[in-house]
Chain A
Amino acid sequence: MITVSGPPSSGKTSVIGKTIEALEKKAIELAVIKFDCLSTADELIYEKKGIKTKLGLSGSLCPDHYFVNNIDACFHWGLKENVDILITESAGLCNRCSPHIKGILSVCVIDNLSGCHTPKKIGPMLKFADIVVITKGDIVSQAEREVFAYNVKMVNPKAKILHINGITGQGAAELGRLFLSANDYQNLDDKKLRFTMPAALCSYCLGETMIGKDYHIGNVKNMKL
């Protein structure tokens, strides 16, 4: 499994789509689960590309809280469907929550257009990601790309930084290679979030980081799979 997060419209769907295209020749079974608050057209975009997709809408909950309450069920769905790589896409709406899980490859997608100070403003979903994908490099200059990447490096020095063009797919094959070498699991039990999420109403609001049904208490919404 791989978690992909990033601010709205940063290019997550484009990058995932291009990466899957690049992996197509490798004959592996891929699926994407999109988490969002309200409506989203991403599901249709993925389906159009022939990618197996599930959608989870969190409504009044923060999508990342909703994410962690549903992720183990999603994982089991993936196993049942014989999916080799399950990718989750979630838009970190509050900039403070992050879906990244310890031991599971985590990607944060941000774009060059968001302004060179943005990396400093994004919370754990950027700081604790293994790979940071920077998109929309085609629209800015070399110097702007350098300043932006430098600022990313300053907040997350350990991450691999990849520049990907979400429209042409340049750089996506390289991300695909990293996807293929991601860790493999049979279940998510006892896995932990990389970072706590701020308050709402469920056990995870109270600081729980363990994944699995045994840890769900309070206002838990289960998605239909």
Chain B
Amino acid sequence: MEGSWQLKNPYDFLTEMGFDLPDKNQSLDQYLNYIDEDMLEDIGTNKEMIYASYDALHGQLEEESEVKVKSILIKGGFNKDGEKEPLDILLKPGEIVSIVGPTGSGKSRLLADIEWLAQADTPTGRVIVINGILPDESKRYSFDEKLISQLSQNMNFVMDANVEEFIRMHAESRNIKQIDEVLETIIKHANDLAGEPFSLETPLTALSGGQSRALMIVDVAFLSKSPIVLIDEIENAGIDRRKAMEFLVNAEKIILIATHDPVLALMANRRLVIRNGGMYKIIESDESEKKVLEKLEKRDRETQKIRNALRAGQKVQCD
């Protein structure tokens, strides 16, 4: 793989599928002319499928850039007792909305409704409207991948690759052209979040929980084109949460975060309260609440300082 993403030539495309080809630099049609039916059968494919795959590989380029989300409207459905939800909520890019409520109240369900672009066809009866229009049926399947990124509780990678290979692979699947620049940005910012440094050569499976989480967030902010980020309870990740949110906000994402973490809940300007499966009310976070946030963050920084001192083998004391 070179520095920039390139279209796969027919030779590489077919040999990767397992075809044995005599010479390079021919067109797909030429190759398919002398590949006989038996050979196709052996590989378990047919000409039609090969053309479709090849087109898909190239078609992606135009498709992707189209998805521009200017707003999401969540139209209220019903709570667990079938009572109408009293509100709708409109979300815009660059905004964080936190979702709070007891365990089992329906926070994850709300995120799932958005992920599925619900059209009154989930248990809640909610309707998700993107850019003021209802997504049509065929779009829903092609949409969801590109529209929504999710950060869930899982804190580990399973892919057998190092950080650089991983980023390149992801960039390729997203048709990103300036891979080298992206590599540099991602590793730098991931290290900003993680505290403990790691490099492009570090194997993914050797990353600590905090490092993995940092890489996942930065990857979503800088590599994923999805305009919507859904975050489900990522507390205790051991990363700089404020910076993490800043990266996502600066990337003009619409961020929904279900959380029990008071710092994350208060970082959002608006907080959606979920009760008994329903959206119950929206609270705007005002100046006095921001003061509470500052206090919490100050306390966090102190804890961090003590943690670092202990790690470095120092004694600690009250000031």
| B78 contacts A by Cβ under 8 Å | no
- Closest Cβ of chain A to B40, distance in Å, is 10
| A147 contacts B by Cβ under 8 Å | yes
| A50 contacts B by Cβ under 8 Å | no
Name A157's contact: one of B16, B53, B224 (CB within 8 Å).
B53
B52 closest partner in A (C-beta): A157
| A49 contacts B by Cβ under 8 Å | no
Contacts of A120 in B (CB 8 A): 16-17
Q: A residues 46-98 with Cβ under 8 Å of B?
A: 96, 98
Name A161's contact: one of B17, B112, B141, B150 (CB within 8 Å).
B141
| B1 contacts A by Cβ under 8 Å | no
| A195 contacts B by Cβ under 8 Å | yes
Q: Annotate A135-174 by CB proximity to B: 1 below 8 A, 0 otherwise.
A: 0001111111111011101111110111000000011011
Assess A158 versus B52: contact at CB under 8 Å? Given A113-B158, A143-B219, A143-B224. Answer: yes
Q: B residues 196-227 with Cβ under 8 Å of A?
A: 212, 216, 219-220, 223-224
- Which of A5-13, A121-129, A212-220 forms contacts with chain B? A121-129
Assess A157 versus B55: contact at CB under 8 Å? Given A139-B154, A143-B224, A149-B145. Answer: yes
Name B154's contact: one of A140, A149, A150, A174 (CB within 8 Å).
A140
Question: Does A127 contact B49, Cβ atoms closer than 8 Å?
Answer: yes
Contacts of A151 in B (CB 8 A): 173
| B44 contacts A by Cβ under 8 Å | yes
Assess A147 versus B170: contact at CB under 8 Å? Given A120-B16, A161-B145. Answer: yes
Q: Annotate B148-181 by CB proximity to A: 1 below 8 A, 0 otherwise.
A: 0111111011111000001001100110000000
| B116 contacts A by Cβ under 8 Å | yes
Question: Does B169 contact A116, Cβ atoms closer than 8 Å?
Answer: yes
14 A-B Cβ contacts within 8 A? A127-B45, A139-B156, A139-B158, A142-B149, A142-B151, A142-B219, A142-B220, A143-B216, A144-B158, A147-B170, A150-B173, A157-B59, A195-B44, A195-B46
- Closest Cβ of chain A to B239, distance in Å, is 14
Contacts of B219 in A (CB 8 A): 141-143
**Majority secondary structure of chain A interface residues (helix, strand, loop or mixed):** helix
Contacts of A144 in B (CB 8 A): 157-159
**Distance, CA A144 to CA B219, complexed state (A):** 11
Question: Does A124 contact B45, Cβ atoms closer than 8 Å?
Answer: yes
**Distance, CA A140 to CA B156, complexed state (A):** 7
* Closest A-B pairs by Cβ, 8 of them: A123-B44, A157-B56, A150-B173, A143-B170, A124-B44, A160-B141, A142-B149, A147-B173
**Distance, CA A41 to CA B220, complexed state (A):** 40
Assess A140 versus B158: contact at CB under 8 Å? Given A96-B44, A128-B49, A161-B145. Answer: yes
